[in-house]
Each structure stands twice: as structure tokens, then as C-alpha cells.
A and B are shown apart, each in its own frame.
Chain A
Amino acid sequence: MRSKIAKRILAETPEETKIFVNLYADIVVRVNQIMKAKGLTQKELAKRIDKRPSEINRWLKGEHNFTLKSISKLQAELDCPIVVIPKGGGFLNFDGHGVKKGFSVVHPHKSGVSKLEFKEANVIKRTQPQFQPLANVG
């Protein structure tokens, strides 16, 4: 069950708002997790990028509106990708929770973005040559 009021508000919420909120949360979580994995404190990170610790705290607490520049700076200093843009073939799917890595299942009713259509990418299928015993017979 879900609160009726939550359902109503969520149904009226523009898809772009949901995507923005999720991307923002994903970035904050990602940065925090990289720092934790690398054993970096906010103070150390601040020193490395010549910022005040309070400024880093604002970034990680989300009180800072991330710009591409600030993300790039963090990515360079953490030496780890924060935002990954999918490249190449395959499918690009939207599922209403932001862009997911790899292949994901589309839930048109859940996402509310069923009007968006993504065509299958051109994929060159390489098949194993079949054994043809008489192919080289002169």
C-alpha cells in the first residue's frame, strides 16, 4: 500500500523532476562512497583540491548545486568516474529512476515515460561460419 496523497502528488510530478532528484542523489552517494573506499576524509579532499573543508562539506551534504565543473574537479581528484555517459551500441532505456547502466527492463506504466520510444540500435551480428565440407573442393 502507498499513501493516497503520495500517489496523487507523485502522479502529478513531472518526469524531469524525478530524474533530476535521482541523478542528484546518485552523484552525492557516489562521491561519498568513493571517498569512503579510498579512505579520504573531507579535510584531506579539501586540501588536495585547495578548498576549505566547509566547502567540501557543503558539496557532500548537497548544499551545493553541482555544476559540470565541480563534478569534473571531484572526478579528477578522486580519480574515479562519477558520472558515466553510455557510449556505443545496445539499448538506452529510461525507467523513471534516472539512467541505469547497461541493459534494464522498461516498465512503461511505472515510469510514465511510455511516450518516449527508443529504437533498437544497429547491431552487426557476427555468426560463426558453418562447417561446409565441400567449400574448398575445386
Chain B
Amino acid sequence: MNIFELKIWDDESEKCTFYTVQADGSLENETDIFFDKYDKTPELKEQTQELLSFVLNAIGDNHGAIDEIFNRHENEVDGLPTQGQLQLGEFDYYFPNFPLRLYALKVTENIVILFGGGIKDGSTNQNSSLHFKWIEACNYAKRIIEGLNDGSIIVNHRTRTLTSFDGTDEIIL
């Protein structure tokens, strides 16, 4: 996997700070690429708005990443080294047959890392067109979890932030 930066995507929500990842050489971060792409797809615009509102309002402002709504853990990543409440899951928003999936890593109830996602058009991730995005999210998550475990990424619970081992905001993995 290439080098990527772990950077803040939203820190204006009342209960949760959202981070995202941006691959070295890429002009946009993965989460912006996801939302921008599906917002520009007319038949998915409404669902994109719902998903964004779910992330920023329901989770970010109202509840935080509590287990009651962050409950889509992927069986496939059970083998990951875990620490505390680290959970790789997906935001697919509460609604029947919701087509979009956005992958995320919950660091705490107040810090969530968002990756990319896609359309769940199959019964499983493996046979959906988002398979590649799911694998990619798992790989990002593995690297981040390694960083959290070996101390190269520090969790600051009080400020709801992640910093590099040297205390700077710039986290390059």
C-alpha cells in the first residue's frame, strides 16, 4: 500500500471528530471522493444527502459513534489486531435496501476515521462492485491500527484528536 495521510475531515460536530485518509499524490481524500461522486449521480443524490446527514448530524452531533448505531462490523476483519474499541464497520444508514456503503474505523465513540465506499449491489461485499473499496478500507484500517498499537499515532481523548508520535497533527503512514 502506498503512503497516505490521516487528516481531519470534520471537527465541527459536537460529539465526534471525523478523520479521513488521502493517498500520496491524490488531490482529494477518500471520503470527499465518495460523497462527491455519488452526490453527482442523480439517482443517488438523495441517498448521499441522507448518508451525510446520518454521519454528521445523527452521529457527529447527536449520539457519537455509539454501539447502538455503529453496529455493522465486518466479519472479514476479525483477524485484525484490535485495541480498545477499534472496530471496522460501515455506515450504510438505517433504511431498508439502502444502496450506499461508507467504510469507517471507530477509534473511540468520539473519533471515527472515514474511508471510501461504494454501491452495495450484491448480497455480500465480495460480490458487490464496492469490493475493491472495501479491501482498500481494510488495508487503510490495518495500517492505522498498527500505528495506534505501536504508538506512532496517539489518541487524545480530551481534544478528540489524533496526533503523530511527536505531537504534530501531520500523520503520514
Residues of A within 8 A of B (CB): 1-6, 9-10, 12-14, 17-18, 20-22, 24-26, 28-29, 32-33, 61-65, 96-98
Residues of B within 8 A of A (CB): 8-12, 20, 29, 31-32, 35-36, 39, 46, 48-50, 52-54, 56-59, 61-63, 66, 68-69, 71-72, 93-96
Distance A24 CA – B48 CA, assembled complex (angstroms): 16
Are B68 and A28 in contact, CB atoms less than 8 angstroms apart? Answer: yes
Are A6 and B53 in contact, CB atoms less than 8 angstroms apart? Answer: no
Q: Which residues of A contact B59 (CB under 8 A)?
A: 25
Question: Which of B39, B57, B59, B66 has the largest number of chain A CB atoms within 10 A?
Answer: B57
Shortest Cβ distance from residue B133 to the other chain A in the assembled complex, whole angstroms: 17
Are B49 and A6 in contact, CB atoms less than 8 angstroms apart? Answer: no
Distance A122 CA – B20 CA, assembled complex (angstroms): 49
Are B58 and A25 in contact, CB atoms less than 8 angstroms apart? Answer: yes
The answer to whether residues A22 and B49 also contact, given A6-B9, A28-B68 and a CB cut-off of 8 A, is: no
Q: List 30 A-B contacts (CB under 8 A).
A: A1-B11, A2-B12, A3-B10, A4-B32, A5-B36, A6-B10, A6-B35, A9-B35, A10-B49, A10-B56, A12-B49, A13-B53, A17-B49, A17-B50, A21-B54, A22-B58, A24-B58, A25-B54, A25-B59, A25-B63, A25-B94, A26-B62, A28-B69, A29-B69, A33-B68, A63-B94, A63-B95, A97-B57, A97-B61, A98-B62
